[in-house]
């Protein structure tokens, strides 16, 4: 869909609430996905509806229904968290480390899979892997399964609450981008996040933002993760500094605290000995 006049008018409407750079980026995103949809070109009424929703702080990803992630097209609804660029960085980090180690035919678990973005990206990178994705939300798993079919990637989806479950298989690699924002931090987040994205995927249920890291690491030490298996976490840029100590307490070695491309503390990895 390439109509410069419509695009300019659309961008002009967004300038009521966004900077010129933001308005341009949103406009490009909207027109790209409208073109990808393969439907007849959007008219002024459709674009007006989209801009009205954006100006009401509804995430554009939910409005259009799709995102690209690690080369995949993913269906996105308010049932799942919108995957962030940092999470995409995580899957490429895991990919690079697995290739350099020569360990690519593994059994992998993605905890808190949401849209399935991490699990599906890894399956796409390494087709011989056995990949499972777990989530507490049946609605999220329905979207993950839809994305599995959309991309023709075979991943097993599991509905479990990690805080209340002990019966798991054993995996060679565990990866997780869990909820890590405490309820008291809610007021610091943008309105479009708080009002539209699933709180169960964002906020810890207790005032301990590290609860999912503690539980996952404990389960790994109880048999969730095989000997010499690796764990990868996406972490809060501030609270993440405490996660390496949690792994160390459970006997993990080769622990690394890594930064994202913006220079923020974002990832933690370790090996179970």
Domains and CATH numbers, the chain: 4-56 (no CATH), 79-272 (3.40.50.150)
SS3 of residue 270 by DSSP? strand
Measured CA to CA in angstroms, residue 233 lies from 135, 178, 213, 240 at distances of 15, 8, 8, 9
pTM: 0.93
Ordered per-residue pLDDT tens for the chain, 273 residues: 567 888 888 989 999 888 999 999 999 999 888 888 766 666 788 888 999 999 998 999 999 999 999 999 999 999 999 999 999 999 999 999 999 998 888 999 999 999 999 999 999 999 999 999 999 999 999 999 999 999 999 999 999 999 987 768 999 999 999 998 887 787 787 877 777 888 888 888 777 889 999 999 999 999 999 999 999 999 998 888 999 999 999 999 999 999 999 999 999 999 998
Residues whose CB is less than 8 angstroms from the CB of residue 16 and which lie 6 or more positions away in sequence, other chains included: 55
Instruction: Tell me which DSSP letter residue 156 carries.
Output: E
């Amino acid at each position: 869909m390439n109509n410069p006049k419509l695009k300019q008018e659309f961008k002009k409407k967004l300038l009521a609430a966004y900077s010129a750079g933001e308005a341009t980026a949103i406009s490009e995103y909207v027109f790209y996905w409208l073109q990808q949809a393969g439907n007849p070109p959007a008219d002024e009424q459709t674009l007006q509806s989209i801009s009205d929703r954006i100006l009401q702080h509804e995430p554009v990803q939910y409005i259009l229904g799709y995102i690209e992630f690690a080369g995949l097209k993913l269906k996105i609804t308010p049932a799942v968290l919108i995957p962030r660029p940092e999470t995409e960085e995580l899957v490429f980090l895991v990919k690079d480390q697995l290739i350099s180690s020569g360990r690519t035919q593994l059994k992998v678990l993605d905890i808190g899979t949401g849209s399935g973005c991490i699990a599906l990206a890894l399956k796409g990178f390494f087709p011989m892997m056995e990949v499972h994705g777990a989530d507490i939300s049946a609605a999220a798993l329905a979207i993950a399964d839809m994305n599995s079919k959309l991309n023709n990637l075979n991943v097993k989806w599991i509905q479990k609450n990690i805080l209340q479950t002990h019966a798991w298989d054993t995996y060679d690699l565990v990866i997780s981008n869990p909820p890590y924002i405490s309820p008291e931090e809610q007021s610091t987040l943008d309105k479009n996040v708080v009002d539209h994205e699933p709180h169960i995927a964002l906020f810890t249920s207790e005032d301990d933002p590290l609860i999912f890291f503690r539980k996952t690491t404990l389960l790994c030490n109880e048999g969730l993760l095989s000997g010499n298996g690796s764990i990868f976490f996406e972490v809060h840029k501030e609270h993440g500094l405490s996660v390496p100590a949690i792994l160390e307490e459970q006997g993990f070695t080769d622990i690394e605290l890594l930064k994202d491309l913006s220079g923020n503390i974002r990832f933690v990895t370790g090996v179970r000995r």
